[in-house]
Amino acid sequence: MGLTAATIRRHLEGELTIGLYAINPATQRSKWVAIDADYAGAMEDLLKLQYFLHEDKVEAALEMSKRGGHLWIFMERPALARECRIYIYNLALKLGVRIRGAGLVEGIEVFPKHDELRDGEFGNAIRGPLGIHRGADRRYWFYGADYAMEKQISYLNRLRKVSEEQLRTFIAGKTMPPEFDRKRSSADQSAPFVHTSGREFRILDHVSKVRKVGRNYLTQCPSCAEAGQDRSGRQPSDLD
C-alpha cells in the first residue's frame, strides 16, 4: 500500500513516524538514495560527499539527525537499486569516506542497502524526514532552508532530480566494489542444524506469529510474554 496524504500529514505533525523502504520489490527500483552517517566526523564526510555530488550536478539535501546526518538524493524516475549503489559506493571510496561493512563497524550506510529483494522482502527502513524523532523527541531539519515546514518542503521541491540517463553516465565502466558486492545466498543454501534423529531442525516451525522485516524474522519472546512483557511481539528498533 502506498503512502497517503493523510499518513504523511500525521508524520509531519508528529503523530507517528514513517519508516521508508527504498526498493519497490516488483521493479527492484528506488525513487531516492539516502546516506546515513552517525559516527565521529560524520558531518565532515557528508559535506564532502555533498560537495562532490554537486560537482556532478547532483543536488543532495543534508538533513540533521540525532548523531550525525542524512544526505538525500531524489530521482527523476525510479532507478535500479544496484545502479544507485554502484554510484555512491564508488564515489565514497574515491573520496576516502568510510563505508560500514567489509570489516568496518563505523562508516556511512547507503539506502537502498540491497541490490535487489526476493519475494516477501522489504529491505531496510530509514526514518522519513521532517517528522518527530521518537528517541530525541525533536524534529530534524534540512540545512538548505529556514526551519519552517513550508520553507523546508519548498526547498525539497526545488532540488534538481537525477535522471536515469545521468546516473548511467556516472557509473559507466564501474561495478560494485568487490569487498561490498556480496552475493546473497538463498536461505535454502545455508547449512541446516540436524537432530540426531536425522530430521532437520527449523526454528520457524516452532514459533508463531512470525513476520519478516528485511532478512530478519520477528516474533514474540516466549519468556518475556510469560513475565507479562512483550505482549504485542517484538518491534523493529528505533529508526534513525
Q: What is the pLDDT of residues 66-101, one digit of tens each?
A: 889 999 999 999 999 999 999 999 999 999 999 998
**pLDDT of amino acid 96:** 95
**pLDDT of amino acid 229:** 58
> Is 231 inside a domain boundary?
no
> Is 234 inside a domain boundary?
no
The HSE-up count of residue 98 (CA atoms within 13 Å, CB side) is 15
Q: Which of 134, 126, 125, 124 is nearest to 16 (CA)?
A: 134
**pLDDT of amino acid 217:** 67
**pLDDT of amino acid 63:** 96
- Tens-digit pLDDT profile for residues 168-225: 999 999 999 998 886 554 443 333 444 444 454 456 666 666 676 665 667 777 656 6
Specify whether 17 is located in the same domain as 43. yes
Specify whether 176 is located in the same domain as 199. no
Domain of residue 221: give its range: 187-226
> Is 198 inside a domain boundary?
yes
**Residues paired with residue 69 on neighbouring β-strands, in sequence order:** 37, 64
**What does pLDDT average to over the chain?**
84
Q: Is the pLDDT of residue 32 over 60?
A: yes
**pLDDT of amino acid 216:** 67
Residue 237 confidence class, pLDDT cut points 50, 70, 90:
very low
Specify whether 28 is located in the same domain as 129. yes
Of 1-10, 48-57, 191-200, give the lowest mean pLDDT range: 191-200
Distances, alpha carbon 49 to alpha carbons 54, 63, 140, 172, 188, in Å? 8, 13, 20, 19, 39
187 phi, psi to nearest 5 deg: -60, -30
Share of the chain above pLDDT 70, in %: 76
List the grid coordinates of 130: 521532517
Specify whether 191 is located in the same domain as 112. no
Specify whether 30 is located in the same domain as 145. yes
Specify whether 175 is located in the same domain as 196. no
* Structural domain total, the chain: 2
**pLDDT of amino acid 188:** 39
Specify whether 215 is located in the same domain as 160. no
Specify whether 133 is located in the same domain as 196. no
- Tens-digit pLDDT profile for residues 106-158: 999 999 999 999 888 989 999 999 999 888 889 999 999 999 999 999 999 99
Specify whether 14 is located in the same domain as 97. yes
Specify whether 117 is located in the same domain as 191. no
> Is 239 inside a domain boundary?
no
> Is 237 inside a domain boundary?
no
Specify whether 82 is located in the same domain as 197. no
Specify whether 132 is located in the same domain as 218. no
